[in-house]
Amino acid sequence: APLGAEQTLEVAYRMRAFDVWVHEQDLRTALGVPGNLDSPGAHVVRDVLLEALPKVVAKDAGAPASSAVVFDVTGPVEFLRTVRVDAEGRGSIDGAPSLGPAVTLATDWETYVRLACGRVRAADAADRIKVEGDERLARAILDNFAVTPN
């Protein structure tokens, strides 16, 4: 593992699949050859990126206690996930929609990946991101959205 840390083969293979798929998309973007957005590697990337959302929303963006933020992603890999912030300020994620979320962020899969992997800033992709709710919280989330694992 990086810096000599120990890790299981499962984690190592998962991160390798993540890296390979994301770098494939980097090359496809640079060459103007889109594709492979719905491959098994894309689903690994989705799972890795979803794990980071509770920290982004609760800690990094400072969402208020007892609030919820909904992520609605469309395209080849679709998902609807809610990050709930409990009374102590800890975030958790689930697939159940939230009634009256503080923020709903909607975008397409490719934009979501490019944002989360630090390939594009929210300001440069604003035409592909729909925000409903607390604009300030949405901006804080998007400002902290790049979570590409090391």
- pTM to 2 decimal places: 0.92
Domain range 2-143, CATH class: alpha beta
Residue 20 has, within 13 A of its CA and on its CB side, a CA count of 12
Judge whether 62 and 50 are in contact, CB under 8 Å: no
Domain borders along the chain are 2-143
Residue 2 has pLDDT above 80, yes or no: no
Residue 115 is encoded by which pair of tokens? 């944002």
Q: pLDDT tens for residues 79-95?
A: 999 999 999 999 999 99
Beta strands in the chain (DSSP E): 67-74, 79-85, 91-94, 103-108, 129-133
Residue 63 has pLDDT above 60, yes or no: yes
Q: What is the pLDDT of residue 104?
A: 98
CA 29/CA 35 separation, integer angstroms: 9
CA 7/CA 22 separation, integer angstroms: 21
